[in-house]
Amino acid sequence: MMKNLKLLLLVLLPFQVLFTQTKYEKGYMITDSGDSISCYIKNYKWLNSPSNIIFKKTTSGNEQIMNASEIKLFQIEGYSKYLKINDSLSITDRFNSYKELNSTPKRFFAEVFVKQLISGKVSLYEYRGANGSVYLLQMGNSKPIPLDYKEYLDTNSNQILKNNIFRRQVLKMLGPDNDNVIQTLEYREKDLANYIRKFNARNGNYLTAQEEVVKDRKATFLLHAVGGVMQYQLATTLSSREATFEDKLSPRFGLELESILPINNNEFAVFLYGQYSSYSSGVSVNLNGVETNAGEVEFNQLTTGLGLRYYLFLNQNHSIVFNGGGNLDFNMNGTYSGRNDFRTTLNTIEDSGFSTFFGIGYSLKQKVRLSANYFLPTEFDSGQDSELKRLSVELAIRIF
Protein backbone atom coordinates (compact mmCIF):
# COMPACT_ATOMS: atom_id res chain seq x y z
CA MET A 1 0.00 0.00 0.00
CA MET A 2 2.78 2.47 0.94
CA LYS A 3 4.58 1.70 -2.31
CA ASN A 4 1.47 2.58 -4.29
CA LEU A 5 1.00 5.82 -2.33
CA LYS A 6 4.56 6.87 -3.14
CA LEU A 7 3.97 6.05 -6.79
CA LEU A 8 0.82 8.17 -6.72
CA LEU A 9 2.85 11.15 -5.50
CA LEU A 10 5.37 10.60 -8.28
CA VAL A 11 2.56 10.48 -10.83
CA LEU A 12 1.08 13.77 -9.63
CA LEU A 13 4.39 15.61 -9.22
CA PRO A 14 4.83 16.57 -12.93
CA PHE A 15 1.50 18.40 -12.83
CA GLN A 16 3.07 20.94 -10.47
CA VAL A 17 5.58 21.80 -13.18
CA LEU A 18 2.84 22.16 -15.78
CA PHE A 19 0.95 24.45 -13.42
CA THR A 20 3.23 27.35 -14.32
CA GLN A 21 2.08 27.35 -17.95
CA THR A 22 -0.49 29.97 -18.91
CA LYS A 23 -1.55 32.14 -21.83
CA TYR A 24 -1.35 35.73 -23.01
CA GLU A 25 -4.82 37.14 -23.62
CA LYS A 26 -6.05 40.39 -25.11
CA GLY A 27 -6.70 43.18 -22.65
CA TYR A 28 -5.76 46.71 -21.71
CA MET A 29 -4.22 48.76 -18.94
CA ILE A 30 -4.40 52.40 -17.86
CA THR A 31 -1.19 53.87 -16.55
CA ASP A 32 -0.87 56.36 -13.70
CA SER A 33 -0.35 59.07 -16.30
CA GLY A 34 -3.74 58.22 -17.83
CA ASP A 35 -2.52 56.46 -20.98
CA SER A 36 -4.64 53.54 -22.16
CA ILE A 37 -2.54 50.71 -23.59
CA SER A 38 -4.01 47.82 -25.56
CA CYS A 39 -1.90 44.73 -24.96
CA TYR A 40 -1.78 40.98 -24.28
CA ILE A 41 -1.65 40.16 -20.58
CA LYS A 42 -0.42 36.89 -19.10
CA ASN A 43 -3.54 35.52 -17.45
CA TYR A 44 -2.74 33.74 -14.20
CA LYS A 45 -6.35 33.84 -12.97
CA TRP A 46 -4.92 35.15 -9.76
CA LEU A 47 -6.13 33.64 -6.49
CA ASN A 48 -4.28 36.34 -4.55
CA SER A 49 -4.13 40.02 -5.45
CA PRO A 50 -1.20 40.60 -7.83
CA SER A 51 1.32 43.41 -7.41
CA ASN A 52 2.40 43.41 -11.07
CA ILE A 53 1.43 42.12 -14.49
CA ILE A 54 3.38 40.56 -17.34
CA PHE A 55 2.33 41.65 -20.82
CA LYS A 56 3.24 42.01 -24.48
CA LYS A 57 2.20 44.87 -26.75
CA THR A 58 1.81 42.41 -29.64
CA THR A 59 1.52 38.63 -29.68
CA SER A 60 5.08 38.38 -31.00
CA GLY A 61 6.45 41.24 -28.91
CA ASN A 62 8.83 41.18 -25.99
CA GLU A 63 7.65 40.27 -22.52
CA GLN A 64 7.39 43.25 -20.16
CA ILE A 65 6.54 43.74 -16.49
CA MET A 66 4.75 46.69 -14.90
CA ASN A 67 4.15 47.12 -11.18
CA ALA A 68 1.15 48.46 -9.31
CA SER A 69 3.08 51.67 -8.72
CA GLU A 70 2.86 52.36 -12.49
CA ILE A 71 -0.69 51.25 -13.39
CA LYS A 72 -4.15 52.44 -12.31
CA LEU A 73 -6.03 49.38 -13.54
CA PHE A 74 -6.01 46.53 -16.03
CA GLN A 75 -8.50 44.07 -17.49
CA ILE A 76 -8.36 40.97 -19.65
CA GLU A 77 -11.26 40.55 -22.08
CA GLY A 78 -13.96 38.34 -20.58
CA TYR A 79 -12.57 38.61 -17.04
CA SER A 80 -12.91 40.94 -14.09
CA LYS A 81 -11.27 44.33 -13.86
CA TYR A 82 -8.36 44.82 -11.43
CA LEU A 83 -7.94 48.23 -9.77
CA LYS A 84 -4.78 49.47 -8.04
CA ILE A 85 -5.06 50.35 -4.34
CA ASN A 86 -2.45 51.95 -2.15
CA ASP A 87 -3.92 51.77 1.32
CA SER A 88 -3.99 50.38 4.83
CA LEU A 89 -6.16 47.25 5.21
CA SER A 90 -7.39 45.42 8.29
CA ILE A 91 -6.37 41.90 9.31
CA THR A 92 -9.77 40.26 9.80
CA ASP A 93 -8.59 36.92 11.27
CA ARG A 94 -11.54 35.28 9.50
CA PHE A 95 -9.57 32.22 8.49
CA ASN A 96 -7.12 32.08 11.39
CA SER A 97 -7.75 29.30 13.91
CA TYR A 98 -5.99 31.38 16.56
CA LYS A 99 -8.11 34.40 17.55
CA GLU A 100 -6.72 37.42 19.38
CA LEU A 101 -8.36 38.92 22.46
CA ASN A 102 -8.24 42.44 21.04
CA SER A 103 -11.36 43.42 19.07
CA THR A 104 -9.57 46.21 17.18
CA PRO A 105 -8.15 44.94 13.88
CA LYS A 106 -4.45 45.24 13.20
CA ARG A 107 -3.57 46.86 9.90
CA PHE A 108 -1.11 46.30 7.07
CA PHE A 109 -0.15 48.33 4.02
CA ALA A 110 -0.78 47.02 0.50
CA GLU A 111 -0.06 48.35 -2.97
CA VAL A 112 -1.69 45.75 -5.17
CA PHE A 113 -4.48 45.21 -7.68
CA VAL A 114 -7.86 44.25 -6.19
CA LYS A 115 -10.47 42.30 -8.10
CA GLN A 116 -13.77 43.89 -9.07
CA LEU A 117 -16.72 41.77 -7.99
CA ILE A 118 -19.50 44.22 -8.92
CA SER A 119 -19.46 47.36 -11.05
CA GLY A 120 -22.03 50.15 -10.90
CA LYS A 121 -22.84 53.33 -9.02
CA VAL A 122 -21.32 51.44 -6.11
CA SER A 123 -18.59 48.93 -6.95
CA LEU A 124 -17.35 46.07 -4.80
CA TYR A 125 -13.75 44.86 -4.80
CA GLU A 126 -11.83 42.15 -2.97
CA TYR A 127 -8.26 41.92 -1.75
CA ARG A 128 -6.83 38.45 -1.20
CA GLY A 129 -3.43 37.66 0.22
CA ALA A 130 -1.39 36.34 3.10
CA ASN A 131 -3.37 38.46 5.55
CA GLY A 132 -6.72 37.04 4.45
CA SER A 133 -9.56 38.62 2.50
CA VAL A 134 -10.67 42.27 2.65
CA TYR A 135 -13.59 43.86 0.80
CA LEU A 136 -13.64 47.43 -0.51
CA LEU A 137 -16.45 49.75 -1.65
CA GLN A 138 -16.14 52.45 -4.28
CA MET A 139 -18.64 55.25 -4.98
CA GLY A 140 -18.39 56.17 -8.66
CA ASN A 141 -14.75 56.81 -9.50
CA SER A 142 -13.71 57.83 -5.99
CA LYS A 143 -11.04 56.08 -3.99
CA PRO A 144 -12.14 52.60 -2.80
CA ILE A 145 -12.76 52.40 0.96
CA PRO A 146 -11.53 49.24 2.75
CA LEU A 147 -14.26 47.65 4.89
CA ASP A 148 -13.01 46.81 8.39
CA TYR A 149 -13.87 43.65 10.27
CA LYS A 150 -12.33 41.55 13.04
CA GLU A 151 -13.00 38.20 14.67
CA TYR A 152 -11.73 37.88 18.22
CA LEU A 153 -11.99 35.70 21.31
CA ASP A 154 -14.13 36.86 24.22
CA THR A 155 -12.45 35.81 27.46
CA ASN A 156 -15.66 35.79 29.50
CA SER A 157 -17.68 33.47 27.29
CA ASN A 158 -14.71 31.82 25.51
CA GLN A 159 -16.60 32.36 22.26
CA ILE A 160 -15.56 33.90 18.95
CA LEU A 161 -17.17 37.32 18.48
CA LYS A 162 -17.31 39.64 15.47
CA ASN A 163 -16.50 43.33 15.33
CA ASN A 164 -18.65 44.37 12.37
CA ILE A 165 -17.13 47.80 11.82
CA PHE A 166 -17.95 47.56 8.11
CA ARG A 167 -21.68 47.92 8.79
CA ARG A 168 -21.17 51.47 10.05
CA GLN A 169 -18.95 52.21 7.05
CA VAL A 170 -21.61 50.96 4.60
CA LEU A 171 -24.29 52.98 6.40
CA LYS A 172 -22.15 56.11 6.25
CA MET A 173 -21.32 55.65 2.55
CA LEU A 174 -24.77 54.65 1.28
CA GLY A 175 -27.00 56.50 3.74
CA PRO A 176 -29.99 55.13 5.69
CA ASP A 177 -30.95 52.84 2.82
CA ASN A 178 -32.46 49.71 4.37
CA ASP A 179 -30.74 50.33 7.68
CA ASN A 180 -32.19 47.11 9.11
CA VAL A 181 -30.67 45.08 6.27
CA ILE A 182 -27.25 46.67 6.77
CA GLN A 183 -27.29 45.71 10.45
CA THR A 184 -27.66 42.04 9.50
CA LEU A 185 -25.00 41.98 6.78
CA GLU A 186 -22.27 39.36 7.16
CA TYR A 187 -18.70 39.96 6.04
CA ARG A 188 -19.02 37.60 3.07
CA GLU A 189 -18.90 38.11 -0.68
CA LYS A 190 -22.40 36.73 -1.17
CA ASP A 191 -24.01 39.07 1.40
CA LEU A 192 -22.17 42.18 0.28
CA ALA A 193 -22.63 41.46 -3.42
CA ASN A 194 -26.38 40.91 -3.05
CA TYR A 195 -26.80 44.12 -1.08
CA ILE A 196 -24.74 46.24 -3.50
CA ARG A 197 -26.52 44.75 -6.50
CA LYS A 198 -29.93 45.62 -5.04
CA PHE A 199 -28.74 49.11 -4.03
CA ASN A 200 -27.56 49.79 -7.57
CA ALA A 201 -30.84 48.52 -9.02
CA ARG A 202 -32.90 50.77 -6.73
CA ASN A 203 -30.82 53.70 -7.90
CA GLY A 204 -31.37 52.98 -11.57
CA ASN A 205 -28.04 51.32 -12.11
CA TYR A 206 -28.54 47.80 -13.43
CA LEU A 207 -25.66 45.44 -13.91
CA THR A 208 -24.65 43.98 -17.24
CA ALA A 209 -23.68 40.34 -17.56
CA GLN A 210 -20.02 41.32 -17.52
CA GLU A 211 -20.52 43.25 -14.27
CA GLU A 212 -22.15 40.44 -12.27
CA VAL A 213 -20.43 38.71 -9.39
CA VAL A 214 -17.50 37.07 -11.08
CA LYS A 215 -18.08 33.70 -12.61
CA ASP A 216 -14.45 32.95 -13.35
CA ARG A 217 -13.73 31.98 -9.73
CA LYS A 218 -16.37 29.25 -9.64
CA ALA A 219 -15.53 25.68 -10.49
CA THR A 220 -17.43 24.10 -13.38
CA PHE A 221 -18.85 20.63 -12.78
CA LEU A 222 -19.22 18.26 -15.74
CA LEU A 223 -20.66 14.76 -15.96
CA HIS A 224 -19.26 12.36 -18.56
CA ALA A 225 -20.39 8.98 -19.84
CA VAL A 226 -17.27 6.84 -20.30
CA GLY A 227 -16.81 3.72 -22.41
CA GLY A 228 -13.83 1.80 -23.73
CA VAL A 229 -11.73 -1.32 -23.32
CA MET A 230 -9.42 -2.57 -20.59
CA GLN A 231 -6.50 -4.89 -21.33
CA TYR A 232 -5.71 -7.24 -18.45
CA GLN A 233 -2.49 -9.17 -17.87
CA LEU A 234 -2.19 -11.45 -14.84
CA ALA A 235 1.13 -13.04 -13.89
CA THR A 236 1.52 -15.78 -11.24
CA THR A 237 3.62 -18.84 -10.36
CA LEU A 238 2.72 -22.46 -11.12
CA SER A 239 4.92 -25.27 -9.80
CA SER A 240 7.80 -22.81 -9.34
CA ARG A 241 7.39 -21.61 -12.90
CA GLU A 242 6.44 -18.08 -13.88
CA ALA A 243 3.18 -18.17 -15.78
CA THR A 244 1.12 -15.43 -17.41
CA PHE A 245 -2.57 -15.68 -18.12
CA GLU A 246 -3.62 -14.85 -21.64
CA ASP A 247 -4.11 -11.11 -22.23
CA LYS A 248 -7.75 -10.23 -22.71
CA LEU A 249 -9.64 -7.10 -23.72
CA SER A 250 -12.75 -6.36 -21.70
CA PRO A 251 -15.44 -3.72 -22.34
CA ARG A 252 -15.32 -0.95 -19.74
CA PHE A 253 -18.04 1.58 -18.98
CA GLY A 254 -19.06 4.01 -16.27
CA LEU A 255 -19.48 7.65 -15.25
CA GLU A 256 -17.07 10.45 -14.41
CA LEU A 257 -17.68 13.67 -12.48
CA GLU A 258 -15.16 16.37 -13.39
CA SER A 259 -14.61 19.75 -11.78
CA ILE A 260 -12.80 22.31 -13.97
CA LEU A 261 -10.89 24.44 -11.48
CA PRO A 262 -11.16 28.25 -11.80
CA ILE A 263 -7.41 28.74 -12.00
CA ASN A 264 -4.80 28.94 -14.73
CA ASN A 265 -7.24 29.40 -17.63
CA ASN A 266 -9.32 26.29 -16.85
CA GLU A 267 -6.30 24.09 -17.46
CA PHE A 268 -6.69 22.01 -14.29
CA ALA A 269 -9.44 19.68 -13.18
CA VAL A 270 -10.08 17.09 -10.52
CA PHE A 271 -12.24 14.09 -11.32
CA LEU A 272 -14.03 11.24 -9.59
CA TYR A 273 -15.08 8.17 -11.53
CA GLY A 274 -16.58 4.70 -11.29
CA GLN A 275 -16.19 2.08 -14.03
CA TYR A 276 -17.04 -1.58 -14.47
CA SER A 277 -15.19 -4.30 -16.39
CA SER A 278 -14.58 -8.05 -16.19
CA TYR A 279 -11.80 -10.54 -16.91
CA SER A 280 -11.80 -14.22 -17.77
CA SER A 281 -8.70 -16.02 -18.97
CA GLY A 282 -6.68 -19.20 -18.85
CA VAL A 283 -3.01 -20.02 -18.43
CA SER A 284 -0.94 -22.71 -20.12
CA VAL A 285 2.44 -24.23 -19.21
CA ASN A 286 4.84 -26.29 -21.24
CA LEU A 287 4.68 -29.86 -19.96
CA ASN A 288 7.04 -32.28 -21.67
CA GLY A 289 6.99 -30.13 -24.79
CA VAL A 290 3.23 -29.82 -24.85
CA GLU A 291 1.29 -26.66 -24.00
CA THR A 292 -1.10 -27.74 -21.27
CA ASN A 293 -3.99 -25.81 -19.77
CA ALA A 294 -3.09 -25.24 -16.11
CA GLY A 295 -5.87 -23.04 -14.77
CA GLU A 296 -8.48 -20.39 -15.32
CA VAL A 297 -9.35 -17.18 -13.51
CA GLU A 298 -12.48 -15.04 -13.65
CA PHE A 299 -13.66 -11.90 -11.86
CA ASN A 300 -15.76 -8.75 -12.24
CA GLN A 301 -14.14 -5.46 -11.28
CA LEU A 302 -15.59 -2.15 -10.14
CA THR A 303 -12.97 0.61 -10.13
CA THR A 304 -13.49 3.96 -8.39
CA GLY A 305 -10.85 6.63 -8.63
CA LEU A 306 -9.84 10.18 -7.81
CA GLY A 307 -7.38 12.07 -9.97
CA LEU A 308 -5.96 15.30 -11.29
CA ARG A 309 -6.18 16.32 -14.94
CA TYR A 310 -4.20 18.92 -16.87
CA TYR A 311 -5.33 20.37 -20.22
CA LEU A 312 -2.48 21.60 -22.39
CA PHE A 313 -4.39 23.81 -24.82
CA LEU A 314 -3.22 23.83 -28.43
CA ASN A 315 -5.87 26.42 -29.28
CA GLN A 316 -9.32 27.37 -28.03
CA ASN A 317 -10.89 24.02 -28.95
CA HIS A 318 -8.17 21.38 -28.90
CA SER A 319 -5.98 20.24 -26.02
CA ILE A 320 -3.65 17.45 -24.96
CA VAL A 321 -4.75 15.88 -21.68
CA PHE A 322 -2.60 14.45 -18.89
CA ASN A 323 -4.20 12.32 -16.16
CA GLY A 324 -2.92 10.94 -12.90
CA GLY A 325 -4.39 9.63 -9.67
CA GLY A 326 -5.29 6.67 -7.52
CA ASN A 327 -8.14 4.21 -7.47
CA LEU A 328 -9.79 1.51 -5.38
CA ASP A 329 -10.51 -1.78 -7.13
CA PHE A 330 -13.35 -3.97 -5.94
CA ASN A 331 -13.04 -7.53 -7.27
CA MET A 332 -16.38 -9.35 -7.28
CA ASN A 333 -17.16 -13.02 -7.85
CA GLY A 334 -13.48 -13.81 -8.22
CA THR A 335 -12.69 -17.49 -8.85
CA TYR A 336 -9.59 -19.50 -9.75
CA SER A 337 -9.65 -23.12 -10.88
CA GLY A 338 -6.49 -25.08 -11.64
CA ARG A 339 -5.20 -28.57 -12.17
CA ASN A 340 -4.45 -30.43 -8.98
CA ASP A 341 -1.03 -31.55 -10.22
CA PHE A 342 0.17 -27.93 -10.44
CA ARG A 343 1.17 -26.22 -7.27
CA THR A 344 0.08 -22.55 -7.42
CA THR A 345 0.80 -19.50 -5.34
CA LEU A 346 -2.43 -17.91 -6.58
CA ASN A 347 -4.32 -17.76 -3.32
CA THR A 348 -7.70 -16.19 -2.59
CA ILE A 349 -8.38 -13.24 -4.89
CA GLU A 350 -8.36 -10.01 -2.91
CA ASP A 351 -11.79 -8.40 -2.53
CA SER A 352 -10.28 -4.93 -2.94
CA GLY A 353 -7.01 -3.18 -3.60
CA PHE A 354 -5.38 0.20 -4.22
CA SER A 355 -3.54 1.17 -7.38
CA THR A 356 -2.28 4.25 -9.19
CA PHE A 357 -2.56 5.31 -12.80
CA PHE A 358 -1.43 7.92 -15.29
CA GLY A 359 -2.36 8.61 -18.87
CA ILE A 360 -2.50 10.92 -21.85
CA GLY A 361 -5.21 11.84 -24.30
CA TYR A 362 -6.91 14.38 -26.54
CA SER A 363 -9.85 16.64 -25.69
CA LEU A 364 -12.23 18.59 -27.93
CA LYS A 365 -13.65 21.65 -26.14
CA GLN A 366 -13.50 19.73 -22.85
CA LYS A 367 -16.64 17.94 -24.11
CA VAL A 368 -15.21 14.86 -25.82
CA ARG A 369 -12.05 13.10 -24.66
CA LEU A 370 -10.11 10.12 -25.97
CA SER A 371 -7.40 8.86 -23.65
CA ALA A 372 -5.19 5.93 -22.71
CA ASN A 373 -4.38 5.13 -19.07
CA TYR A 374 -1.71 2.82 -17.67
CA PHE A 375 -2.30 1.28 -14.24
CA LEU A 376 0.83 0.48 -12.29
CA PRO A 377 1.12 -3.23 -11.39
CA THR A 378 -0.80 -4.17 -8.27
CA GLU A 379 -0.88 -7.22 -5.99
CA PHE A 380 -3.87 -9.35 -6.84
CA ASP A 381 -4.11 -12.19 -4.34
CA SER A 382 -3.81 -12.61 -0.60
CA GLY A 383 -0.47 -14.35 -0.98
CA GLN A 384 0.96 -11.30 -2.76
CA ASP A 385 2.54 -13.56 -5.38
CA SER A 386 0.38 -12.60 -8.33
CA GLU A 387 0.60 -9.31 -10.19
CA LEU A 388 -2.11 -7.61 -12.25
CA LYS A 389 -1.29 -5.13 -15.02
CA ARG A 390 -3.88 -3.05 -16.88
CA LEU A 391 -4.08 -0.64 -19.77
CA SER A 392 -7.29 1.14 -20.78
CA VAL A 393 -8.39 3.12 -23.81
CA GLU A 394 -11.59 5.08 -23.26
CA LEU A 395 -13.87 7.65 -24.83
CA ALA A 396 -15.60 10.17 -22.55
CA ILE A 397 -18.57 12.21 -23.76
CA ARG A 398 -19.97 15.07 -21.74
CA ILE A 399 -23.60 14.55 -20.68
CA PHE A 400 -24.00 17.93 -19.00
Residues 6+ apart with CB under 8 A from 268: 15, 19, 260, 261, 308, 309, 310, 311
- In this predicted structure, the answer to whether residue 31 has a pLDDT above a threshold of 80 is yes
Q: Mean pLDDT, to the nearest integer, of 332-358? A: 72
On whether the CB atoms of residues 228 and 268 are closer than 8 A, the answer is no
On whether the CB atoms of residues 378 and 353 are closer than 8 A, the answer is yes
On whether the CB atoms of residues 286 and 243 are closer than 8 A, the answer is no
Q: How confident is the model at residue 275 (pLDDT cuts 50, 70, 90)?
A: very high
- The residues spanned by each domain of the chain are 17-211, 219-398
CA distance 300 to 352: 11
pLDDT digits (tens, 9 = 90+) for 215-236: 455 667 899 999 999 999 888 7
| HSE-up (13 A, CA, CB side) for residue 194 | 9
This prediction has a pTM of: 0.57
* Portion of the chain with pLDDT greater than 70, in percent: 82
Does the 219-398 domain belong in CATH 2.40.160.20?
Answer: yes
Lowest mean pLDDT among 71-80, 214-223, 281-290: 214-223
Distances (CA, A) of 326 to 273, 296, 399: 11, 28, 24
